């Protein structure tokens, strides 16, 4: 069953399906959500409507949505729990459904304001896992000296340095155009992040030099409006290629299993914080909409300090037997 409200087989009455399609267009055109997030929101709404069809005994329409009670939403969350759905997944799904219900209320389709008070399951927030500075250096050195095509090694090093040196998401790095490439000596880079929000990040000389090295070795002609990073066949590079390459390097070097492209972004933030960077600056560099998201990195640094304390303080050591 497709998650697209415009497709057949969706368990909703025509008026609700039409409203869901309009909401989906609003998310894409006004909120400018990424295709991945948009698909997730559509799937979350489809799952909720499918539950309601069984819960109410008929495909729901706008009148049924307007008549929903908080108990109906809690029944949906309970059903997800019984199916073994993770709390984080249910929390995200509830967020998507609430978004749709608020949109219905604002646009006069159905009054679902009574459902605003339903709270989702509280999921524990895992701390971001950073790679230790010495392990990061070991990884970058191994990528630079790896066997195979020199231009591919240069490409992978430039990419990883953009993640670790500038704090980019892998999707942001792969979305860069050739014209966006920082030239040697460049001090900043414009990045288009989530929600199509643009931010400016500083560029370390090592990052600009790595990108220039890749450009000098790349065997393909790069159009100014074309992708900056290409795969072996000259097409836009897939994130999966970099992920597989990094996984192989991780196994070879014996690095932690959380050594992923995104962990380099976590390392960027954690190492900056450990070096005295302030949260507001790190928030801007990462492109976080909320400071609370950035504050998770204080937990990483606190955990590291506690580990050092336990291993180094005389009173924290266990007495020898």
Catalytic residue positions, numbered:
169, 194, 262, 265, 288, 297
Dihedral angle at the C-alpha atoms of 211, 34, 247, 217, nearest 10 degrees?
-20
220 Cα distance to chain centroid: 30
Residue 200 DSSP SS3: strand
Nearest 5 degrees, angle CA 244-CA 36-CA 20? Answer: 160
Tokens standing for 162? 């953009």
Q: In terms of C-beta density within 10 A (0-12 exposed, 13-18 middle, 19 or more buried), how is residue 85 classed? A: middle
Question: Which DSSP symbol is given to 315?
Answer: G
Task: Please identify which residue in the block is written with the tokens 């070795």.
Answer: 217
Burial letters 8-30, b for 16+ CB under 10 A, else e: eebbbbeebbbbbbebbeebeee
CA distances from 243 to 38, 100, 133, 177, 240 (A): 23, 34, 20, 20, 5
Radius of gyration, CA atoms only, the chain: 24
Q: According to DSSP H, which parts of the chain are helical?
A: 14-29, 35-56, 62-66, 70-82, 87-106, 133-144, 150-166, 170-174, 205-217, 239-253, 261-274, 279-286, 291-294, 296-312
């Amino acid at each position: 069953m497709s998650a697209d409200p415009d497709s057949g087989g969706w368990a909703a009455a025509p008026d609700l399906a039409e409203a869901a399609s309009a909401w989906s267009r609003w998310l894409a055109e006004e909120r400018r959500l990424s295709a991945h997030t948009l698909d997730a929101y559509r799937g979350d709404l489809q799952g909720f409507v499918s539950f309601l069809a069984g819960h109410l005994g008929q495909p729901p329409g706008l009148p049924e949505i307007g008549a929903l009670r908080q108990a109906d939403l809690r029944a949906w969350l309970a059903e997800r729990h019984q199916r073994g759905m993770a709390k984080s997944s249910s929390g995200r799904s509830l967020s998507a459904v609430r978004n749709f219900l608020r949109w219905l209320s604002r646009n006069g389709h159905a009054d679902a304001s009574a459902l605003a008070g339903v709270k989702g399951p509280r999921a524990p927030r895992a701390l971001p896992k950073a790679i230790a500075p010495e392990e990061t250096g070991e990884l970058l050195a191994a990528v630079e000296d790896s066997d195979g095509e020199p231009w591919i090694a240069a490409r992978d090093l430039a990419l990883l340095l953009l993640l670790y040196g500038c704090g980019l998401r892998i999707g942001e790095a792969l979305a860069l155009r050739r014209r966006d490439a920082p030239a040697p000596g460049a001090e900043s880079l414009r990045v288009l992040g989530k929600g199509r929000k643009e931010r400016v990040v500083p560029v370390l000389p090592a990052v600009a030099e790595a990108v220039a090295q890749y450009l000098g070795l790349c065997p393909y002609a790069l159009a100014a409006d074309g992708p900056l990073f290409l795969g072996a066949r000259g097409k836009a590079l897939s994130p999966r290629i970099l992920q597989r390459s990094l996984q192989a390097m991780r196994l070879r070097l014996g690095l932690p299993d959380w050594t992923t492209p995104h962990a380099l972004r976590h390392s960027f933030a954690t190492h900056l914080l450990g070096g005295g960077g302030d949260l507001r600056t790190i928030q801007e560099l990462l492109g976080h909409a909320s400071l609370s998201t950035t504050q998770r990195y204080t937990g990483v640094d606190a955990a590291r300090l506690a580990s050092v304390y336990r291993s180094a303080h005389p009173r924290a050591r266990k007495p020898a037997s």
